[in-house]
Amino acid sequence: MISPKKPILAIDFDGTVVENRYPKIGKPMLFAFETLKKLQEEGHILILWTYRCGRSLEEAVQFCAEHGIEFYAVNKSYPEEEYSNEISRKINADIFIDDRNIGGFYGWGNVYRELIGEDEQLKNRAQEKSKKGFLSSLFKK
């Protein structure tokens, strides 16, 4: 189930979903597939965003499928998107999960806790707004 309120996640493959053994496929990172499955169940849109192309990309997609993960799109923002040199290669995602982030990849447990914390903050803000009356929401104190 896809939820429009959940962030769209662009997820790197080598060094993030699996250990970095490019061009081979490394062992799955601890809790990678369990976390990805849980995020999909909660309505997150998952996009595979990787340097891989051609046969090595097909192998990565197949590896993920064998572990129960089917991505919404692969190296593009939506399934029907066609790449050309006239458009940007930038993926339209809210959060990029990658081992090349500043500070590196800090593990799937931390990624999940961070995303759940963000969901809780959004939920709390919505509850606070609903507690206030309509007019009080128009005027800041």
- Per-residue pLDDT at 88 exceeds 80: no
Token look-up 């189930």 returns 1
Looking at residue 120, which CATH number applies to its domain? 3.40.50.1000
26 domain-assigned: yes
50 domain-assigned: yes
DSSP summary character for residue 7: P
49 domain-assigned: yes
What does the pLDDT look like over 24-48, one tens digit per residue? 999 999 999 999 999 999 999 999 9
Range of the domain at 24: 8-81+90-132
DSSP 111-141: HHHHHHHHHHHHHHHHHHHHHS-HHHHHS--
CB-neighbour burial class of residue 53 (10 A; exposed 0-12, middle 13-18, buried 19+): exposed
- Per-residue pLDDT at 121 exceeds 70: no
Mean pLDDT of 12-18: 97
The closest of 43, 19, 7 to 108, measured between CA atoms, is 19
67 domain-assigned: yes
Q: What pTM value is reported for the model?
A: 0.77
Number of domains in the chain: 1
116 domain-assigned: yes
1 domain-assigned: no
24 domain-assigned: yes
